[in-house]
Amino acid sequence: MATVTSADDGTPALSRTPLYDEHVALGATMVPFAGWSMPVKYTSDLVEHHAVRRAAGLFDISHMAEIDVTGPDAAAFCDRALAGRLSALAPLQSKYTMILAEAGGIIDDLIVTAVPDAAGPHFAIVANASNRAPVVAALAERATAFDGDVEVRDASDEYALIAVQGPRARDVLEAMPALTVESGAPEFGDTKYYRNTLARFGDVPVRVARSGYTGEDGFELLVPAGAAVELWRTLRATGAPHGLVPAGLAARDTLRLEAGMPLYGHELSLDVLPAQAGLGRVVAIDKDDFVGRDAVLAGPAAGAPVLVGLAAEGRRAGRAGYAVLDATGRPVGEITSGVLSPTLGHPVAMAYVSPAVAEPGTVLAFDVRGTAIPATVTTLPFYRRPRA
């Protein structure tokens, strides 16, 4: 369960995940993030980044929101309320989707899982921490207007979410005697990407999803909040011989950027339609109706900016908010996320630019304190993990 710190200086209080004391004990640098006190790094963001690419990293992502949608008409409701066709999900299958405003802008991007439940249809939604309130409010409003039997419940404080990411992630889970797959459920190695399996940590139920936000193989473990500390400590101890290290927000951001994964508040917002972000495929436009459908079908306005990747040489990286320039020095867009890629060794960025200059191979530049750094439009992602 989340706890809330006191704020004597009048600033908003920060929530703490069940693992807060573990982070402090490890010497993590704690920072405010989406209303939470979160570890940005433990030792070095570069060390943590490379550990995930080469072995495994351990992330506390318990700040994410968990929302349950249940009831006999839950599948039809999710199809109406969200952009994807969630009624097509098989049990234990997950899907990346979005919740849109009527005007087509993105309220949030989500992961939805069809959870086996003897009580009836059950869809578990994971939303971004910063959008917990807007997503819950939008779903509740849409449930009220929906002609069917459905319940929306914010279950965020009941759970912790821990991610193990990297090429050795499977080894870590399989080396834990206390983490056992339930009878009849897929083994960790047999669980496909965006599928889940059911396990137990001692007597505690754990839903294990093969998914993540790093571009690497990995798993995300949903566990009751009261068991989070013991699971975290066991993962650390078991994973250490496999090269696993705790990793913070800084590494998570550079990893997701290399993998071309959008971040809400940077690449995604209420002002952006899915097609502008290259996510038109996520929207099931053949559904009879869903919130935002008319706006999505109409499409972005002529000349609306589109998301591209930019790759540059040298060591000077573009950052969010830096202007993107065309060959004449005229501003044609803006960087949303940028970094000197730890894996690739050169600057990469995502940016919204005019469609006229969005073709891969187009040479542009980004403005770093008055200096134009040449950059080439490139197809996302920047990094793909090696396949076994």
245 and 163 housed in the same domain:
yes
Per-residue pLDDT at 387: 79
User: Total domain count for the chain?
Assistant: 2
C-alpha dist (Å) from residue 323 to 224, 313, 326, 369, 371: 45, 17, 10, 10, 11
**pLDDT tens track for 215-227:** 999 999 999 999 9
Give me the CATH number covering residue 39: 3.30.1360.120
The answer for residues whose C-beta is within 8 angstroms of residue 183's C-beta and 6 or more apart is: none
pLDDT mean for each 10 residues of the chain (388 residues): 55 91 98 97 98 98 98 98 98 98 98 96 98 98 97 98 98 97 97 98 98 98 98 98 98 98 98 98 96 97 97 96 97 98 98 98 96 97 89
Phi-psi region of 35 (alpha: psi -120 to 50; beta: other; left: phi over 0): left
Domain assignment of residue 269, yes or no: no
d(CA 388, CA 369): 43
Per-residue pLDDT at 386: 87
253 and 309 housed in the same domain:
no
Strands (E), 202-330: 204-209, 218-224, 244-246, 306-312, 323-325
Buried-state track 346-358, b at ≥16 Cβ within 10 A, e below 16: ebbbbbbbbeebb
Per-residue pLDDT at 4: 52
Domain assignment of residue 149, yes or no: no
Last residue of a domain, one of 237, 257, 277: 257
Domain assignment of residue 83, yes or no: no
**pLDDT tens track for 157-176:** 999 999 999 999 999 999 99
**Residue range(s) defining the domain that contains residue 237:** 3-57+158-257
Domain assignment of residue 118, yes or no: no
